[in-house]
Chain A
Amino acid sequence: MDSPLVKDITLFLDDKPSVYALRQKAKNALLATGFPTPKTEAWKYTNVKDLLNTPLEINTDSEVCDGDCCQHHQTEPFIEITFCQGKLHIEEYNTPKGLIITPLPVALYENEYKNYLFNSFDLEKHPFAALNGMYLEQGICICVEKGSHISEPIHINYHQHNCNNQQIHIHNLIIAERDCCLEVLETYNGDTSFPYLTNVVNEIYLKENATLTHYKIQKEAETAFHIALNAVKQQKNSQYKQFYLSNGAKLSRQETLINLDQEDAKAEIYSAYTAKKECITDITTNINHLKPNTYSNQYAKAVLEDSSVACFQGKIHIAPNAIKTSGHQLHKALYLNDNATLNCKPELEIYADDVKCSHGASCGEIDKEQLFYLTSRGIDKNIATKMLIDAHLEEIFALISNEEIKTLFCRK
C-alpha cells in the first residue's frame, strides 16, 4: 500500500488480541482490494488520488481537547455525545430508560457487541471502511432496548476544528432492538485551512418493528475529505429514514448500504446538498431488496455552483424472490453555473416479477419566471436567487417532522 494513509496498526498501545484480530482482518481486506482507482466501478466518478497522496497522521494522544470547544450552549433537548478531533469525550451520559450508550473502546471488550462489528457490510467491497477498521478504536455504541421509545434525539456532535493534517476514523454501532424507536442526529463542523480526513462507519441494525430516523448535517472545512458509510441491516417491518445535508468538504462521499433482509422493511433516503468551488460531492446508495414487500425511496436535491462536481449513483437490487417490492429514486439538480458537472448513475437490478421501480433525474437553472416575480416585488436579485436556491432544498427539509432538527437543516 503506497498511500501515506496506511500506517502500522500496532500504534495503539492498549491492544487486546481480539481487537488486534479485527484490525488485522480489516487491513487484510484493504491489502487484498487496494484503494479505488478511476477504473473501480463504484468510484468511477469520484477520484480519490488527491486524498491518497495527502500525508495525514493518526493522532494517538488520548487528550486532544481542553473542553473549550464543547462549552457551547445546548438549547435543543438532545442527548449529547461529543467527539473532538475524533476523540470521544467520555462523560456520564444522562440517558433515559432503555437507552445504553457505550464508548467503542469499552464495547470492544464486551462480547455482546462482537457480532455486530464488520457484520453489516463486506470489508472487501468498501476500502475506506476497511481503512477505518484497521484503526478501530474511536466510536460509540448506541443500543436501544426492546420496546423503548427514546423521545429525545441522540446528537453525535463531531467538532472537527484543528484536525490539521490528521486522519480521523470513527466506527459507530447503532442497535435498535424490537419495537423500539429512536432519532439520531450527526453534525460535522470543521474550520481549518489544513487538510484532514473524516472517515466514519455507522453500522446500523434494526430489529423487527424498530424505527430509526437518522439525520446528518455535514459542514466540514473546505479543505476536508469526508468519507462515510452507513451500513444498515433491517429486519421485518423495520423503518429507516435518513436525511442528509451536505455543504462542506472539498471531497465528500456519503455511501448508504441498506439490506432489507426481511419482509415489510422500509428505507427512505432524503439528501440535500450544495456544492461550490471545485468540491466533489458523492452520494452513493446500494439498496438490496432481499425479501418480498420491501420498500425503498430515495430523493436527492442538489445545488451546483462554480466548477463543482457531483455524483449521484443509486443502485436498487431486487432479489429473485422479492416480489411486491417497490424501489424509487429521484434526483433533481439546480445549476447555478455552466461549469458544474453532474454524474447521475441510476442502476436497477431487478430479478423478481411484480415489482414497482422507478428512477428519474432532472436538472435546470434558476427559474426565470420565479426570479422575475420576486424581483418585481422589490427583492434584490441576489437575495431572490438565494431564496430560490433555498426553496429548491426546502422540499427535502419539509419532510422532516422534528421541528428542532428541521431548523438546524434550514440554518445557513
Chain B
Amino acid sequence: MTVPLLEIKNLHAAVADKEIIKGLNLTINKGEVHAIMGPNGAGKSSLSYVLSGKNGYNVTKGSVSFSGEDLLSLSTEERAQKGLFLSMQYPTEIPGVVVTNFLKQSVNAIRKAHKEPELDSLEFLKILKSEATKLNISQEMLKRFVNVGFSGGEKKRFETLQIALLKPSFCILDEIDSGLDVDAQKIVSEGINQLRNKDNSFLIITHHEKLLSDIVPDFVHIFADGKILKSGDKTLAHIVETNGYTQFLKEE
C-alpha cells in the first residue's frame, strides 16, 4: 500500500485557548483534489494554519503525517520546503519587501532544500516573466512591495503565481476565488489545473460551487464546528449551493 500524502487523525487544535478543530480525520492521497465547504467561522482557515505550523495554532491532540513524516514536528519553513503551500485567504502585506526579491528568495530556498542549484538573477527573471505573463500579472506589479496596495483579485493572482513558481506537491487554497472577477477566476483555475497531475494534491477551501466546476474535486467535505460532518463527491457542493448547511448540521 502506498503512503497517503496527508493523513490527519483525530486532530484537535486551539487558538487562544479556544478549541477550534475538534476531532478531524482526513486522508488525501497523491494526485487527489479535495474540497472543504463550511459555514463562516467553522475553522477552515484555522485548519490551514495548523497544517502550515503558524504560531498560536496549537495542536492539543491527534496526529498529522505528510508523506509518512510527522508534519507537526516541522517548522513552517520546513513544511514549505517539503512541498506544502498555503494560498492564504488574506495574504499579508509586507511593506519594504519587493515582490521580485521575495519570489527569488523563496524559489531558491525551496531549490536549496531539494538540493537543486539556486537560480541566478537572470535565470530567475526569465522564469518569473513567463509565469507572470500567463497569469496576467504586470511587470510593474513585480516591482512593488509584497501585496501592498494589491487589489483583492491581484492578491489572489499573486498567490497563484507563487504556486506556479514553487511547484508544491500539496496546495491548500483558502478561498482563492474570493475577490476574483470572472476572467481572473478563469485564469487562476486554468493555472491550477495545469499544475494538477498524478503527484500533486490540492485542498480547496471555498464557499462557491463555481470554483469546483472549474477545478473539479475528487471529494467534497462538509466542515462545521471543527470537524468533517459529511464527505462525498462533487454533487455535495451542489447541495450546499442550493440548500445551505442546515441539513448537515441537523444530521449531526
Contact = CB atoms under 8 A, between A and B. Distances in A.
A369 interface: yes
A379 interface: yes
Contacts of B85: 376-377
B40 interface: no
A381 B94 CA distance: 15
A391 B96 contact: yes
B105 A379 contact: yes
Contact of B109 (A370, A383, A393, A395): A383
B76 interface: yes
B95 A375 contact: no
Nearest to B55: A368
B45 to A, nearest CB: 13
B241 interface: no
B166 A378 contact: yes
A377 B166 contact: yes
A181 to B, nearest CB: 28
A372 B54 contact: yes
Contacts of B54: 372, 376
B95 A377 contact: no
A381 B113 CA distance: 14
Contacts of B52: 372, 376
B80 interface: yes
Given A383-B109, A387-B105, A376 B96 contact: no
A380 B94 contact: no
A374 interface: yes
A392 B86 CA distance: 25
A365 B245 CA distance: 41
Interface residues of A, number: 24
A306 interface: no
B62 interface: no
B105 A372 contact: no
Contact of A391 (B79, B86, B94, B166): B94
A372 B92 contact: yes
Interface in B71-113: 75-77, 79-81, 85-86, 88, 91-92, 94-97, 101-102, 105-106, 109-110, 113
A373 B106 contact: no
Contacts of A372: 52, 54-55, 76, 92
B162 interface: yes
Interface string A314-340: 000000000000000000000000000
A375 B80 contact: yes
Interface in B44-80: 52, 54-55, 75-77, 79-80
Interface string B121-139: 0000000000000000000
A381 B75 contact: yes
Interface string B148-174: 000000000000001000100000000
Contact of B94 (A368, A374, A375): A374
Given A375-B75, A376-B76, A391-B97, 14 more contacts: A370-B94, A372-B52, A372-B55, A373-B88, A374-B106, A376-B86, A378-B77, A379-B105, A380-B77, A383-B105, A387-B97, A388-B94, A388-B96, A394-B95
6 contacts: A373-B91, A373-B146, A374-B97, A375-B75, A377-B109, A391-B94
